[in-house]
Structure 1
Amino acid sequence: MSKIFDNLLSTKSLHSKDPIDRYIFDHSLRYTPEQFELLEDIKNLPEKIQPWLGSTDEAQFFQLLIRLMNGKRAIEIGTFTGYTSLAIALALPSDGELITCDITDEYIRQDIWIKAGIRNKINLQIRPALETLKDLLKTYGSNSFDFIFIDGDKENYLQYYELSLELIHSNGLIAIDNTLWNGRVLNENDISIETITIRQMNELVKNDNRIDISFLRLGDGTTLYFTFVFLRIIIQKCFSSVHISPNRNQLQYSFIRTNSDRIVERFKRRTTSDIFQIHIHYDTSVKKLLNDEQRLIKEAVEAATKFWSKAIRPKYKLNNRIRLARQCPSRKMFIVENDYSVHYCSEKCLDETHCGDIIVPYEHLQQCHVCNKDRKCERIGTNGSGVNAEFILYVSALDTNRCEPIDTLATASFCQLEPEQDRPIAGNINVCPWRLRGDRIWRDFDRLVSTIKHEILHTLVFSSGLFAFFRDSNGEPFTERDPATRWPKAYDEKLQVYTPSDKVLKQIVRKNWKIRGGLMNKIILMLVTPKVQAIVREHFSCSTLEGAELENQGSIGTALTHWEKRLFEHEIMTGTYTQESVISNLTLALLEDSGWYDVSYEYGKPLLWGRNLGCDFVKTSCKQWIDSKLEKKQSPYPFCISSSKPNLSKRICDYTYDKVVMCNLIEYPTAVPLEYQV
């Protein structure tokens, strides 16, 4: 075999004259018949390009690493004959994928790939690798690959490196070839663009705190980079969810209301032994996922719904099946006198009724209710069989436009209410499928369950579209209703939601709010229902606190539908996931204050952020809090401060003394709004 490598450069490890090296190679390297055939074929190539072949010991080492890490998806930049491609593909599982890039297929032995039975695993891209990598980011998203091997044109190594850091997932591995460059990196007189670039690359990775590094004298120098789990989380945007409320044309009641004596029959006070019956319906989009992705979603959804079915119970039990109302093609709808629970469509019903992002199955629907132009109303068709539960959770995995922000993991929406107490009885959670395909952080089961719990709460209670339907402890609406329709009187056209009473949602003005540029009047919105108010006053030790502040940043799907991140950092119902979240008594209190649920507070966990820090913390800006602490030479806890170039390797104990943390402040490329500057 050694004669095959007679023309290879002296720094290639396989050409070493050292007897120890030869002994290692003779007692470790293994070749399949296809690999041996490809190596023999190297002799037929022009002599000047034979050294382009990657070292076979390097390729075998990659196989070992890929198998150890259970790698499934890989990228190779620079294919040449396809020898390393063959080795990588052989190490991948049957459903694995290697995307290999080159600008020509002149020397690639695809026939040997076919003979080895791995051609179906290889996606060959014949075009500039930078184009391929950028397209992979669009197609698969960040953090999508297990292993990346860079062995292409040297002048683009720095760009390949940065794009690879975007594509590789946490705990992924990047290997770069030719980092010794035949010894030329040591030759100060060599100022070729290739040599200069490799020197720059070696200096860059040495000082890059985003990675672990191992520089091996393997082949022509192989540098391995291993990404930190926690660091990849910090570098990425925080994970977020998006909640969309149905507008008034989409929001409907779903039961036919008859008279008051029938209400008593259909709604009975629950016993404490009852559990909340949530029916899970998986959309066809979930069934189209890979088997392990389906399993992941289903196990997480079932774990999350099991938690909520025990932690809360609707105050009134439904005694008949849920059948959702059919949607109408226009805004024009009719309400029959003394039958407020049913909206009649003008002329016809839509062929399809949606709940969030999915089409509701026919068997879950009521018959069609219509009125003609003469206002003659009738019911057409038959009712579906319905669902014997108290809430229907529709779960989908659709790549919708609301999944486009790179930090969005899932979206949620409630869709219909029952008419007696206005409680939501159906909702949709959509898991953004590219996250399942690409991000191993997203595959963290506990984090996925936490995200699903969060989304379920959006469908049950935490929605700006539901606040106007909250009821007091006696079952009476907090918000004034239109006597003709029973819907809340006021509607916010901008937010597309009914406007709640100030007994639920209240606007507060904080005067003399300190920012970098001076002082301002800060307008905030707070949930001020009784239990919520009591919980936050006790938590912050601030007896004058009006309520719990809502998030005011982000899109319509984040603002006003989450707790304020500044004050409730790791509560499950903040808008972004940045550390281990908890379901606190604050969120459980909101469920109780809606008037729809009885709550078991033993399921709540302590919220540590901001605890007992007083009114100065909860009623003033970050800048005022930090400045006042620094003036007294005190810690600005729970916030941290850092230099313009923080040392990400410096870690300290957190405030609970049970975990190690770091100050991960980052410098934004553009100025943040003045009110958030410290």
Structure 2
Amino acid sequence: MKGPTSYSFYILILSLVLASTVTSHYHECPHDKLPTKKFLIRTHLEGSTDKATKNVGGDDGFNQPIRINIHYNFSIFGVLTEDKQEQVKTIMGQVKENLESILTVRRTPSPLRLRRACDGDNPFILTGPTEPCFNRCSNNSAICSFFPVPSDHLQRCVECNGDRSNCVEAYSDGPGLEDTDLALYVYGVSLFCGASTIAYASSCQLEDQYDRPIAGIINFCPSNIDDDEEVFQVAKHEIFHVLGFSSSLYPWYRDENGNPRTRRDANGNPPTDANGDYVADESTVKMVNLTDWQTRFGPTNKTVTQLVTPKVVEVGRRHFNCNTLEGVQLEDQGGGGTAGSHWEKRLLNYEAMTGVISQNIAFSNFSYALLEDSGWYKVDYSNASILVWGRGDGCGYTAGSCGGYIDTKKRQNQPIAPFCNFFNDEFNPQNLSCNIDRTAVAFCNLVDNYYYYLDVSIPPEYQYFNSGANFNSSAFRLPFYGGIVHTADFCPFYFDLPFRQALEGICRKGIPLTDSNEAAETYGPRSRCVDHSGKWQITNGSNTYTAQYSAGCYEYQCSNSVVTIMIFGQSYTCSRAGQVIQVDQTADGVRYRGGIVCPSCVEICYDDFENCPEAAELYGEFASPAPPTDSVGSLLPMVGLLFVAIFASFAVNY
């Protein structure tokens, strides 16, 4: 057995390799690393009524698009270059336009002014028009404690200098922000930035009539800003945390009538836990005991946290085809930066608001429903994207482990998708296939986690396998066999290829898997992944060899439910799903021989209702799904974790 020094050296080398290869393609979301629960201050706005539980209706309805006011402050520390400042401004303008087209709100009165901090030992005490500072008003104009804002955006401040009978106005009202429902303050400093963090965001103040967030910060980490599309995706994900997808905001949610979903005390505050953090009632967030969580040792119990608000439940029941669904599970791993403030990856996988997602994502009805269930917004669901993962998989899928799901499917002689049980080497992955929505060539991420844990096995509740497609119960280190992404409860699934500098295998925007393009691939906005029936034979002059890969990205189209795949301009029309069509064609002097496995219309054209009626039947709640695109302005947001961060959390948490 290797000693500690060998392990440390291995992990160091592994981390350096990973950092040099995938940093630009994954983002660590550090949401809630800031102590936001302490920062959330309720602000009284002039023109608002004093009745915090007032019903909605009349002129107070959701009839106006949200107005987002973006204020940039790149002067502190001067870290962000001018080019990157312009890049961030352009992308934030796109995100603002996108969100303003999706959300409507009860508009705030103008001008919007925020509360100012009081000086003293407790930086979380803020003043307002009716609450003076016992000592002095702070001359440090900041929100979320750390981030400076213009003094012009703040309310008046009265200070008492230790004598409540002799208080004076130290600061008068600033002009405030006109025509603003959400003030977003944008920074570019290294504070709280991890090695793979592109940006992070947090709500800072809520209006006190309905508790909707009216101010938040988003900080872009200077050393990690690169690809425009990636930054856009991350920014939109992070702002969704500001808007409402945050464990710190659940206790403040309202029902459809504008009444608090969680009981309030005389001051209008929710109850607190032993740490002084606000907690939501079970009408919003509920602990549930799953009683049939299958492991390789047999069934056990597992307690999970579910969001049980009405619209989320409605979307979940329809998506999973489970009429008894009581809630949708929130992430329970990944530490404070991930747990509780994202969807459970095992269930929703590449939904944009899960904690670990790669290049191809869906901002789906689940996250839109969450925002609507906050009681603060109405949402245009036609902007949502189709989520293929988990669609129609039933109540057993939502209430049990992936191990139990795989065992059930195997007993029924059915495919185990979206999961897999092929043991792989993540540094040299074999038997590649397509991911579940065919947006990328992928590998089964079932690996030996031995080194990542420093000889500490995967927790027993996440050990699912005594055997698989290429191993059995005699296999060495079974306690370490599991998926590489721990936020997916160590469930193995077909995952976008790791360790790639230029996004090989990402069909809509990447490049061929090999320099020689041995799979005869075509990449672009009209390409998706198709499986091969076996390894292809490639003949180049007098040299014939077997291709390394068994799937590729190709242009496709559907017409009257018929799928056609194009390879180097040659059309291959499928007569049925699962049909193997032989390919034998020559391009640029290279001969390609092999077979492709036809996907069904709904597998590859799930967002083309006109040409694939089966997709319209399955995803009928979508009014007008968007066609594939490579335009940044209409791309769906992504968030993911760098594998280095995953490995580090293994060592810390287990």
TM-score, normalised by the number of residues in structure 2: 0.62
Pairing 1:585–2:365 present:
yes
Does the 8 Å CA contact 2:79/2:189 hold for their aligned counterparts?
no
1:246/1:650 CA distance change after superposition, 3 Å: same
Does the 8 Å CA contact 1:330/1:346 hold for their aligned counterparts?
no
2:441 maps to what in 1? 660
Q: How many aligned residue pairs are there?
A: 442
Does the 8 Å CA contact 2:351/2:357 hold for their aligned counterparts?
no
Larger-Rg structure: 1
1:416 maps to what in 2? 205
1:258/1:242 CA distance change after superposition, 3 Å: closer
Does the 8 Å CA contact 1:241/1:575 hold for their aligned counterparts?
no
Pairing 1:672–2:458 present:
yes
Gaps of 5+ in 1: 1-157, 170-231, 437-442
SS in 1 for 2:198: strand
Alpha-carbon deviations, 1:238-286, whole Å to 9, x = none?
743423465565332223568848999x998478774321111112258
Pairing 1:447–2:447 present:
no
The one of 175, 184, 200 aligned to 1:393: 184
Tell me how far 1:330 sits from its aligned partner: 4.3
Measured in 1, the distance between the counterparts of 2:386 and 2:63 equals: 26
Alpha-carbon deviations, 1:161-205, whole Å to 9, x = none?
989855645xxxxxxxxxxxxxxxxxxxxxxxxxxxxxxxxxxxx
SS in 2 for 1:497: coil
SS in 1 for 2:97: helix
Tell me how far 1:398 sits from its aligned partner: 1.5
The one of 355, 375, 378 aligned to 1:595: 375
1:477 maps to what in 2? 260
Measured in 1, the distance between the counterparts of 2:126 and 2:73 equals: 32
The one of 394, 399, 407 aligned to 1:614: 394
One-letter amino acid of the structure 2 residue matched with residue 320 of structure 1: S
1:460 maps to what in 2? 243
2:217 maps to what in 1? 428
1:34 maps to what in 2? none
Measured in 1, the distance between the counterparts of 2:337 and 2:17 equals: 30
Measured in 1, the distance between the counterparts of 2:104 and 2:434 equals: 39
Q: How does 1:541-556 map to 2 (within 5 A)?
A: 541-556=321-336
2:615 maps to what in 1? none
Measured in 2, the distance between the counterparts of 1:159 and 1:481 equals: 49
Instruction: Give the fraction of aligned pairs with identical amino acids, expressed as a percent.
Output: 34
Tell me how far 1:237 sits from its aligned partner: 7.0
Does the 8 Å CA contact 1:411/1:429 hold for their aligned counterparts?
yes
1:296 maps to what in 2? 87
Does the 8 Å CA contact 2:36/2:203 hold for their aligned counterparts?
no
Q: How does 1:202-241 map to 2 (within 5 A)?
A: 232=22, 239-241=28-30
Measured in 2, the distance between the counterparts of 1:497 and 1:323 equals: 26
1:599/1:543 CA distance change after superposition, 3 Å: same
SS in 1 for 2:291: strand
Alpha-carbon deviations, 1:402-428, whole Å to 9, x = none?
323x33332211000111111110001
One-letter amino acid of the structure 2 residue matched with residue 299 of structure 1: T
One-letter amino acid of the structure 2 residue matched with residue 380 of structure 1: A
Does the 8 Å CA contact 1:278/1:392 hold for their aligned counterparts?
yes
SS in 1 for 2:447: coil
Pairing 1:282–2:68 present:
no
Pairing 1:254–2:43 present:
yes
SS in 2 for 1:526: strand
Alpha-carbon deviations, 1:86-134, whole Å to 9, x = none?
xxxxxxxxxxxxxxxxxxxxxxxxxxxxxxxxxxxxxxxxxxxxxxxxx
Gaps of 5+ in 2: 1-9, 465-654
2:419 maps to what in 1? 639
SS in 2 for 1:345: coil
1:318/1:432 CA distance change after superposition, 3 Å: same
Measured in 1, the distance between the counterparts of 2:257 and 2:239 equals: 26
Q: How does 1:298-317 map to 2 (within 5 A)?
A: 298-314=89-105, 316-317=106-107
Tell me how far 1:384 sits from its aligned partner: 1.6
Does the 8 Å CA contact 2:42/2:205 hold for their aligned counterparts?
yes
RMSD of aligned C-alpha atoms?
Answer: 3.4
Q: How does 1:486-565 map to 2 (within 5 A)?
A: 486-488=268-270, 490-494=271-275, 497-565=277-345
Pairing 1:352–2:145 present:
no
Does the 8 Å CA contact 1:313/1:597 hold for their aligned counterparts?
yes
Does the 8 Å CA contact 1:334/1:343 hold for their aligned counterparts?
no
1:351/1:605 CA distance change after superposition, 3 Å: same
Does the 8 Å CA contact 1:267/1:318 hold for their aligned counterparts?
no
One-letter amino acid of the structure 2 residue matched with residue 467 of structure 1: Y
Tell me how far 1:652 sits from its aligned partner: 2.0
One-letter amino acid of the structure 2 residue matched with residue 650 of structure 1: N
1:367/1:520 CA distance change after superposition, 3 Å: same
2:475 maps to what in 1? none
Tell me how far 1:623 sits from its aligned partner: 1.4
Alpha-carbon deviations, 1:386-445, whole Å to 9, x = none?
112111111112112x323x3333221100011111111000111222212xxxxxx332
Tell me how far 1:584 sits from its aligned partner: 0.8
SS in 1 for 2:256: coil
Alpha-carbon deviations, 1:281-312, whole Å to 9, x = none?
11225864223322222222111121111100
1:578/1:260 CA distance change after superposition, 3 Å: closer
SS in 2 for 1:491: coil
1:502/1:163 CA distance change after superposition, 3 Å: closer
Tell me how far 1:663 sits from its aligned partner: 1.8
Does the 8 Å CA contact 2:196/2:224 hold for their aligned counterparts?
no
Does the 8 Å CA contact 2:37/2:277 hold for their aligned counterparts?
yes
SS in 2 for 1:398: coil
Does the 8 Å CA contact 1:249/1:331 hold for their aligned counterparts?
no
Counting helix residues as a fraction of each chain, which structure ranks higher? 1
Q: How does 1:41-440 map to 2 (within 5 A)?
A: 165=17, 168=20, 232=22, 239-244=28-33, 246=35, 249-256=38-45, 260=49, 269=59, 274-285=64-75, 288-314=79-105, 316-328=106-118, 329-331=120-122, 342-356=130-144, 357-371=146-160, 373-376=162-165, 377-388=167-178, 389-400=180-191, 402-404=192-194, 406-436=195-225
Alpha-carbon deviations, 1:518-575, whole Å to 9, x = none?
3332111111111111110111011111111101112212111111111111111111
Does the 8 Å CA contact 1:244/1:411 hold for their aligned counterparts?
no
Does the 8 Å CA contact 1:312/1:597 hold for their aligned counterparts?
yes
Higher mean alpha-carbon deviation, 664-673 vs 462-471, is at: 664-673
1:254/1:238 CA distance change after superposition, 3 Å: closer
Higher mean alpha-carbon deviation, 365-374 vs 253-262, is at: 253-262
Measured in 1, the distance between the counterparts of 2:140 and 2:318 equals: 48
One-letter amino acid of the structure 1 residue matched with residue 409 of structure 2: K
Higher-RCO chain (CA-CA 8 Å, sequence separation at least 6):
2
Alpha-carbon deviations, 1:611-634, whole Å to 9, x = none?
100011111011111222233343
One-letter amino acid of the structure 2 residue matched with residue 382 of structure 1: S
Tell me how far 1:502 sits from its aligned partner: 0.8
Does the 8 Å CA contact 1:246/1:413 hold for their aligned counterparts?
no
1:272/1:501 CA distance change after superposition, 3 Å: closer
Does the 8 Å CA contact 2:103/2:378 hold for their aligned counterparts?
yes
